């Protein structure tokens, strides 16, 4: 498939989303990098009662990629593969594995990235189903990935060996 040149303002947003998720960047570990090589036992360790584990953070990040994708594309609610919203207890009775949920995160990123690449530059300053502009929504999901990448890096260091 031929590559279509993106408008510069859209390309900046695509690059931002990619650098926060899985492309090399000056800031260090991105979200995918923070999850690389983690075993299921590491992903489900909790720092304390009532605290989220890495697995839950990964599914939470997938959900918010979906939610931003939905806002950008006008998609219907209820299409996320897990029932509920925002936080999803992991592991749970659904039987989904750590690897399956990591694949879900990658799939939601690919959908989001495609939607960002399709944005009309003229629409970037318009409100996107809420109080934030379309460009602000995209910048926000990139910041969300980086926030949780740092949180995951900290949890990995806190886990007793």
**pLDDT tier, 3 (very low <50, low <70, confident <90, very high otherwise):** low
Q: Is residue 2 part of a domain?
A: no
10 confidence band (pLDDT: 50, 70, 90): very high
Q: Structural domain of residue 81, as residue ranges?
A: 8-158
CA torsion, ordered 36, 40, 45, 51, to nearest 10 deg: 80
**136 against 75, higher pLDDT:** 136
Asked whether residue 70 carries a pLDDT value surpassing 70, the answer given is yes
User: For residues 42, 31, 71 and 83, what is the CA-based torsion angle, rounded to 10 degrees?
Assistant: -10
Q: What is the pLDDT of residue 51?
A: 96
Helix (H) or strand (E) holding 153: helix 134-158
Q: Tell me whether residue 121 is in a domain.
A: yes
pLDDT range class, residue 61, cuts 50, 70, 90: very high
> Exposure pattern of 61-98 as b/e (b: 16+ CB <10 Å)?
bbbbbbbbbbbbeeeeeeebbbeeeeebebbeeeebeb
**What CATH number is given to the structural domain containing 154?**
1.20.120.450
Task: Flag whether pLDDT at 161 surpasses 90.
Answer: no
**Does 113 fall in a domain?**
yes
Over range 66-78, report the average pLDDT.
92
User: pLDDT digit string (tens) for 16-56?
Assistant: 999 999 998 888 899 999 999 999 999 999 999 999 999 99
**1 inside domain:** no
pLDDT digits (tens, 9 = 90+) for 88-138: 999 876 778 999 999 999 999 999 999 999 999 999 999 877 789 999 999
**Inside any domain, residue 3:** no
Q: What is the pLDDT of residue 138?
A: 98
58: confidence class by pLDDT, cuts 50, 70, 90: very high
Average confidence (pLDDT) over 48-67: 97
Q: What is the DSSP string of 45-89?
A: --SSTTPPPHHHHHHHHHHHHHHHHHHHHTPPTT-SSSSSSS---
Number of domains comprising the chain: 1
**pTM for this predicted structure:** 0.93
Quote the CA–CA distance of 69 and 97 in Å, as a whole number.
24
* Residue 27 falls inside a structural domain: yes
């Amino acid at each position: 498939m031929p590559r279509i040149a993106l408008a510069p303002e859209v390309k900046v947003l695509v690059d931002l989303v990619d650098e926060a998720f899985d492309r090399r960047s000056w800031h260090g570990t991105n979200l995918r990098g923070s999850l690389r090589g983690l075993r299921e036992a590491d992903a489900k360790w909790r720092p304390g009662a009532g605290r989220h584990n890495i697995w839950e953070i990964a599914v939470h990040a997938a959900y918010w990629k979906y939610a931003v994708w939905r806002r950008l594309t006008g998609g219907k609610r209820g299409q996320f593969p897990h029932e509920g919203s925002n936080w999803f207890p992991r592991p749970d009775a659904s039987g989904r594995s750590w690897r399956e949920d990591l694949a879900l995160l990658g799939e939601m990123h690919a959908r989001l990235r495609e939607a960002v690449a399709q944005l009309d530059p003229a629409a970037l300053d318009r409100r996107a189903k809420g109080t934030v502009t379309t460009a602000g929504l995209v910048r926000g999901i990139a910041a969300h990935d980086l926030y949780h990448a740092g949180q995951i890096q900290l949890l990995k260091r806190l886990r007793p060996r």
